[in-house]
């Protein structure tokens, strides 16, 4: 693959120059923003999106809250596992960064001395986006959109080939989906136990959701209110 990248007569390199060429024509302040967004901002946005989804699932308190929270816990775990899987892939392929083999690229960040294939940023964001889609379709679509934008930014910044990004998308998706059944089988019982716990129940349901569900967390004020109402009705 490294040999293929060295030739300018292939779509991968042509698309690299086309996308990175946008950085040459953009104002310097815009390139600075894109560099920050592509390096840190979208990763932070993905984490905040997962937390937002978790807060929504807790407040809703639906019957599938346990499985949804389990899928949300799986999202960062899937990203971490995908990055670990990428370590031997990078060592095997040994593809240099595009700016080492091609002249005239506008590189927006420095210090990228490791191998290029596959992109860690694309892998992390897509793994989290796909795992988030399993938990909540609407939030998942937003997460996948963030992952696609991350992939564009990595090429725009001149630090990855388009195929590095596509490979990261494929790796993140594969890990998130293929290992999801095993992850859910392990995480769901843990979160069911947490839901029944007076101290850890907040992880799955907010207090208001637990109280309105008719099955308040044992030992909480919500449960006492339910028991009082039941005694009043019986009288």
**pLDDT band per the 50, 70, 90 thresholds, residue 191:** confident
pLDDT per position as a tens digit, 65-78: 788 888 899 999 99
pLDDT per position as a tens digit, 130-157: 999 988 899 999 999 999 999 999 999 9
**How many CA atoms, within 13 angstroms, populate the side-chain half-sphere of residue 111?**
2
The residue among 38, 128, 120, 39 whose CA lies nearest residue 87 is 120
pLDDT per position as a tens digit, 225-234: 434 444 443 4
State the pTM of this model: 0.81
CB atoms within 10 A of CB 23: 20
> Residue 24 and residue 102: Cα distance in Å, rounded?
15
52 Cβ contact list (under 8 Å, min separation 6)? 139
Determine whether 207 is exposed, middle or buried from the number of CB atoms within 10 Å of its CB (0-12, 13-18, 19+): middle
Q: List the single range of 12-16, 29-33, 66-70 with lowest mean pLDDT.
A: 66-70
**pLDDT band per the 50, 70, 90 thresholds, residue 219:** very low
């Amino acid at each position: 693959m490294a040999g293929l990248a060295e030739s300018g007569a292939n779509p991968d390199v042509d698309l690299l120059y086309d996308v990175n060429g946008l950085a040459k024509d953009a104002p310097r302040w815009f390139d600075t923003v894109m560099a920050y967004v592509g390096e840190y901002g979208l990763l932070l946005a993905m984490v905040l999106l997962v937390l937002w989804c978790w807060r929504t699932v807790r407040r809703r308190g639906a019957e599938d809250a346990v499985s949804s929270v389990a899928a949300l816990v799986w999202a960062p775990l899937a990203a971490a596992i995908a990055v670990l899987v990428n370590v031997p892939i990078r060592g095997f392929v040994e593809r240099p960064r595009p700016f080492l083999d091609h002249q005239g690229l506008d590189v927006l960040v420095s210090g990228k001395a490791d191998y290029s294939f596959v992109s860690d940023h694309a892998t992390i964001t897509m793994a989290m986006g796909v795992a988030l889609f399993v938990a909540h379709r609407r939030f998942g679509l937003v997460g996948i959109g963030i992952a696609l934008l991350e992939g564009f930014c990595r090429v725009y910044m001149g630090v990855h080939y388009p195929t590095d990004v596509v490979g990261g998308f494929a790796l993140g998706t594969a890990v998130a989906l293929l290992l999801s059944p095993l992850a859910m089988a392990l995480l769901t019982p843990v979160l069911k136990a947490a839901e029944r716990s007076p101290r850890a129940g907040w992880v799955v349901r907010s207090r208001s959701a637990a109280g309105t569900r008719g099955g308040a967390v044992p030992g909480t004020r919500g449960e006492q209110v339910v028991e009082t109402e039941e005694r009043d009705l019986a009288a």
